[in-house]
A and B are shown apart, each in its own frame.
Chain A
Amino acid sequence: MKNESLSHAQQVAAFKRLFEEHYGAIRNFLYYKTGDMAEAQDLAQEAFSQMWVKRDHIRQEQAKNYLYTTANNLFINAAKHQQVVLRFQNSPRVERFAQDPQFELEQKEFQQRLEHTIASLPEKQREVFLMNRIEKMTYQEIATSLNLSVKAVEKRMHQALIVLRKLSEKI
């Protein structure tokens, strides 16, 4: 009995480390897909809950892949998604520009067009692009997480860049 509860405590501790390591990335991944932070949080919770149930059968090195796969399945199985609207916040800007109202305005407009264009990307391109840009993941890391070939990641990044290039043509 005592041993059992001890090993349970160890299991919880190990799972907590896993949770702390991956929760943020999985939640963000779901945000890139859904554009809805509340839903992203719910689905991320659900992904970890499913992993908790299956914890005895998942090896440490499979955990990350399992989480992304489960998150993706949960997203697909969730109700149909409406047009995604993404909102971002910016990291603090360099101060010297802050005084120039002309620059500020132009910057704000650019930002809006950028967010709009990113939101308009097909989901598969958007997630790969933002995993690279925001999560700072390498192509290899993205490929491993999503069970894709590096070639497929390359292709999606390439397609995303082609859309972004037309940013200035969009209003």
Chain B
Amino acid sequence: MNQPLPDHEILRLWLEGKGQAPEGLDPELLRAVEEAGKLDVPSTSSTDAAWERFMQENHIETPVEAVTRPLWKRYWAVAAALALVVSLGVIFLEPNNPQPQQIALTTLTTTNAEHTSIDLPDGSSVMVNAASHIEFDKENWETNREVHLEGEAYFDVEKGSTFKVLTSMGDVEVLGTRFNVYARKDGFEVACLSGKVKVTPESGSSSTFSILSPQQIFRASTQSAGAVTELGDKQAASWRKGEFSFDNTPLIEVIAVMERQYNVQIELDGISERVFFGNFTNDDLDEAFRLVTGPLGLKYVKLGDSKYRISGTD
């Protein structure tokens, strides 16, 4: 009954207001899309009021021009300001006035189903995948570009001194480039997207390292010492777009990715030795289950809150 939708480009032009509604479009859909364009969020407080609240919550003073005031008024203001600073100082650490001697590592931990980006002091950026942890020393960053990583992260590094990613599975050194590091219990992978990347796996002596060029990936697992392969036209670090693809990957690893990306628990019923080719995204759990179980002829059931089981159909 329903016509297939017109192609993306025609839809895009229409939805961006640059083209006519596509011909032969379901009138109900046409109306729904047009009506949706007339909707507005419920009335809410103004941006000005929000700004007032913001200043109050963040203890930002309204900037005022310096005016000469009677002496007693100034003393009163100073006393009041001091009292405020003292009381705030107890509660908050002043972010703009770090103690020079103190070594405070900046840490970032993501939970399941969480992706976060963070900028490093030199403008380099790190995008951290779910269930991962990074640490770095912000104060001594100029002389010490080192990030400790557990889990998986994508790095876009500004040119400069040697930049190191240290993991329990091995270390990665670069000058300025884009690359992805996966360092979890089940494996160590480094993919190079641009520039050159030096990988030294933990097991090897420091003389056994690999230099990666763009579209090359270094893979090591608990069973294998590690080897460099070409990515071909496959995209590295597609997790940044919420896309996960697998090529001859043990099902147990695929399930571990699903668990992290969707924050669910999945039991495998005696089929962990199967391998999976294919992909899924992190925005539709049911679809991900279908994509994984379908081709393998498996079935999945929901056991309870965020708990699932995959088993063979028997």
B contact residues, total (Cβ < 8 Å): 55
Residues of B near A44 (CB, < 8 A) are 50
Contact check, B17 vs A167: say whether CB atoms are below 8 A apart.
Answer: no
- Give the CA-CA distance A58 to B12 in the complex, in Å: 32
Residues of B within 8 A of A56 (CB): 96
For A141, the closest partner residue in chain B by CB is B16
B11: chain A residues within 8 A (beta carbon)? 154, 157-158, 161
Contact B63 A45 (CB under 8 A): no
With contacts A114-B36, A118-B36, A139-B12 taken as known, whether A69 is within 8 angstroms of B2 at the C-beta atoms is no
Number of interface residues of A (CB under 8 A): 69
Shortest beta-carbon distance from A141 to chain B in Å = 9
The verdict on A53 contacting B95 (CB below 8 Å), with A89-B42, A161-B33, A164-B32 known, is yes
Contact of B50 among A23, A88, A149 (CB under 8 A): A23
Closest CB in chain A relative to B55 CB, distance in Å: 8
Tell me the bound Cα distance from A168 to B31 in angstroms. 11
Complex alpha-carbon distance, A16 and B299, angstroms: 54
A134 adjacent to B119 (CB under 8 Å): no
18 A-B pairs within 8 Å (CB atoms) are namely A12-B60, A19-B54, A24-B47, A37-B41, A45-B53, A73-B114, A88-B41, A89-B42, A91-B38, A110-B35, A123-B283, A134-B37, A136-B17, A138-B16, A139-B12, A139-B15, A154-B12, A164-B36
Q: Which chain A residues have a beta carbon within 8 Å of chain B's beta carbons?
A: 2, 8-9, 12-13, 16, 19-20, 23-24, 27-28, 31, 37, 41, 44-45, 48-49, 52-54, 56-59, 62, 66, 69, 73, 76-77, 87-91, 110-111, 114-115, 117-118, 122-125, 129-130, 132-134, 136, 138-139, 147-149, 152, 154, 156-158, 161-162, 164-165, 167-168
Q: Which residues of B contact A (CB under 8 A)?
A: 2, 5, 8, 11-12, 15-17, 26, 28-29, 31-33, 35-45, 47, 50-51, 53-54, 57-58, 60, 62-63, 66, 95-96, 111, 113-117, 119, 121, 123, 127, 240-243, 281, 283-284
